Amino acid sequence: MKKGKRIYLDYAATTPVDSRVVKTMLPYFTVKFGNPASSLYSFGQEAKEALERSRGIIASVLGAKSGEIIFTASATESNNTALKGIAFANRNKGKHIIISSIEHDCVLNSAKWLQSQGFEVEKLPVDKYGLVNLKDVEKAIRKDTILISVMNANNEMGTIEPVKEIGRICRENGIYFHTDAAQSFGKIPIDVNRMNIDLLTASSHKMYGPKGAALLFVRKGVKIEPFLHGGGQEFGLRSSTVNIPAVVGFAKAVEICRKEIKEETQRLTKLRDRLMEGVLKKIPASYLNGHPKKRLPNNANFWFKFIEGESIVAALNSYGIAGSTVSACSSLKLKPSHVLLACGLKPSQAHGSLRLSLGRWTKEEDVDYVLEILPKVVEKLRKISPFK
């Protein structure tokens, strides 16, 4: 490892904040620091204006109305609000909720908690690429189904779900449709109307904005209970003083992504394909997780036979490369990834998974460096492994 050489390939976990975003945020810490709820004087007015401007920018990118964007503190909060809020507001209509089996833990565990509150949750299976089948969606629907939640793109392997079609099925059946777009917003185009989305979660820190800002799009007319009760901010759906610097940063980040999405998608897709093809060609007994084409432009995910993911990540780190794994050893629960198991991988296979996610500052030479180092790392760990 060259001294100080560090390559970040975990953009799916979090992103650095773009310096243009930081610059936009700074005045809102020190000068325009007012509380938007105190809008009788100029300090509050400045903050209120910034909040509404940010809301407008993001709404227009999603094809939503300003009044349909609720700012929250995290995608986890947005997903919790969506599931629990819809469940409790519509429980007189029904208690049946459908989610996919590869949702993020915050959706899975919200649904699990709702089960303890008397709701019924059904999990949709996925195929070997992680795709939800529309026929399964139709089959799962009952008279008392109130909500379907399927993520826009999966966080582990980047598979892009047929959200538009699932939304259409929900429309036809009078069921609310929520999608978790934490991984996809800013990377692939989203239009809440064209895609028949009633509720959508997105997060700032996955798209070069600051941590601590996220949103929940709630279509006008959707019946939802708030999660936080208090001063009635965010149209009564999320009481709390809004984190103005973070929200302003989020909006700036969205604006930049909108401007650059076309070129950036092309650039990242090319780099990602170079990485995927290189790894599969250079490393024997290596396999791709997720769909070869229907995947986020920045996500590559593999599994390597006979070795374990945490070891791979740790060994890569000693060469300055930051990647991630959801192997059993790396998880707090010591269980293999529920996503990879849902795709049909055996626990032994899921044990050797590696996710490399690219981003705004990934260069071709970084990918080439990984293609030089990763085969060595895999080979060494295989020498140590009893299986060959």
| Beta carbons within 10 angstroms of residue 31's beta carbon | 10
Which are the contacts of 178, defined by CB distance < 8 A and separation ≥ 6?
Answer: 82, 83, 86, 147, 148, 149, 197, 198, 199, 200, 201
Closest CA to 15 of 202, 203, 207: 207
Distance CA 61, CA 204 (A): 14
- Which tokens go with 153? 């793109």
CB of 329 to other proteins, least distance (A): 4
CB of 291 to other proteins, least distance (A): 17
CB of 385 to other proteins, least distance (A): 5
Residue closer to other proteins (CB basis): 259 or 346: 346
Counting Cβ atoms within 10 Å, is residue 169 exposed (0-12), middle (13-18) or buried (19+)? Answer: middle
Residue closer to other proteins (CB basis): 217 or 304: 304
The reply to whether 329 belongs to the active site is: yes
Which are the contacts of 281, defined by CB distance < 8 A and separation ≥ 6?
Answer: none
- Which tokens go with 125? 């299976």
Q: How many residues does the chain have?
A: 388
Which are the contacts of 192, defined by CB distance < 8 A and separation ≥ 6?
Answer: 62, 63, 64, 68, 200, 217, 219
> Of the residues 106, 170, 257, 329, which is catalytic?
329
Residue closer to other proteins (CB basis): 314 or 322: 314
The number of CA neighbours under 13 Å toward the Cβ of 276 is: 25
Residue closer to other proteins (CB basis): 5 or 171: 5
Closest CA to 269 of 293, 252, 245: 293
Distance CA 104, CA 76 (A): 9
Distance CA 290, CA 326 (A): 14
Residue closer to other proteins (CB basis): 305 or 355: 305
Kindly list the residues in this chain that would bind other proteins in the complex (CB under 8 A).
284-285, 287, 305-308, 310-311, 314-315, 318, 327-330, 332, 334, 336, 346-349, 351, 382-388
Distance CA 261, CA 186 (A): 7
Residue closer to other proteins (CB basis): 163 or 313: 313
Residue closer to other proteins (CB basis): 58 or 321: 321
CB of 8 to other proteins, least distance (A): 19
CB of 278 to other proteins, least distance (A): 17
Counting Cβ atoms within 10 Å, is residue 65 exposed (0-12), middle (13-18) or buried (19+)? Answer: middle
Count, in order, helices (H) and strands (E) of the chain: 12, 12
CB of 212 to other proteins, least distance (A): 24
CB of 9 to other proteins, least distance (A): 19
Which residues does the annotation mark as catalytic?
329
